[in-house]
Amino acid sequence: MADDADSNALDQVASPGQDIKYSLYQASDATEMTSLLGEAFTQFDPPAVAAGLTPSEFEEFVRLFCPQAANQGLTIVARAVETGEMCGALLTEDSASAPPDGIDLLSAKCNPVFDILGQLDEEYRSGQAVHPGASIHLFLLGVAQPFAGKGIAQQLVSECLANGTRKGFSMAVTEATNKTSQHVFRKQGFVDRVRRSYGDYRFDGQATFASIADQGGPILMDKRLHRSDGGGDLGRS
């Protein structure tokens, strides 16, 4: 379960002037988070859109990771202070985590997305094992459309890195699938490591992502974490 001290600290952090509160994901957040990420990704994430994934199909994917998110205490959610509405989420896991049960039963539309991102991961790891507690995987970052452009994505990443650092992780990794998310992560100090081209990619001989070639392609990015990134106990300074 999430560490109580970290949870209490995060619960007290709000963005200056924005009335947004950031906290560790709890099991009770599952329905809202799956809905938020399902809408955000199927409307605005290029590979999910190109693959034709529906909100319900994407929600089914997210739902598989919810028990792990509650146990690991690495996922961050953002809520509007005034209404309590969830306005953003960053699903995060220990990079050494095994795929959840049921992932092989998801819609076949997911397969090209899994494949192109899997290529990034395979090249990045180069056969090296990932040990538990060493690296966090910033997996799915989404902000509800009414709250877009308010810096919530940046703050979610910042809070996630600080939380991971406090828990002893030394590296953060993400696969950024569009120009906007790549910009967000670069601003947080992430460095490009491996990339693929949507225009050149083929799945079963089909140019699955030709319609999003203008987005360039997904990039695996990483950042080494330092104690100075932890920011102390959030909300207690």
The pLDDT tens digits along the chain (237 residues) read 334 334 444 544 544 446 999 999 999 999 999 999 999 999 999 999 999 999 999 999 999 999 999 999 999 999 999 999 999 999 999 999 999 999 999 999 999 999 999 999 999 999 899 999 999 999 999 999 999 999 999 999 999 999 999 999 999 999 999 999 999 999 999 999 999 999 999 999 999 999 999 999 999 999 999 876 655 443 322
The three state secondary structure string of the chain is CCCHHHHHHHHCEECCCCCEEEEECCHHHHHHHHHHHHHHHHHHCHHHHHCCCCHHHHHHHHHCCHHHHHHHCCCEEEEECCCCCEEEEEEEEECCCCCCCCHHHCCHHHHHHHHHHHHHHHHHHCCCCCCCCCEEEEEEEEECHHHCCCCHHHHHHHHHHHHHHHCCCCEEEEEECCHHHHHHHHHCCCEEEEECCCCCCCECCECCCHHHHHHCCCEEEEEECCHHHCCCCCCCC
- pLDDT value at position 127? 85
One-letter amino acid of 3? D
Strand order in the sheet with 171-176: 13-14, 20-24, 76-80, 86-94, 135-143, 171-176, 219-224, 191-195
Q: What is the pTM of this model?
A: 0.89
CA 38 vs. chain centroid, Å, equals 13
- pLDDT value at position 227? 74
Q: Give which of 171, 71, 73, 158 is closest to 131, Cα–Cα.
A: 171
Phi, psi of 189 (to 5 degrees): 95, 10
> What's the CATH number for 4-229?
3.40.630.30
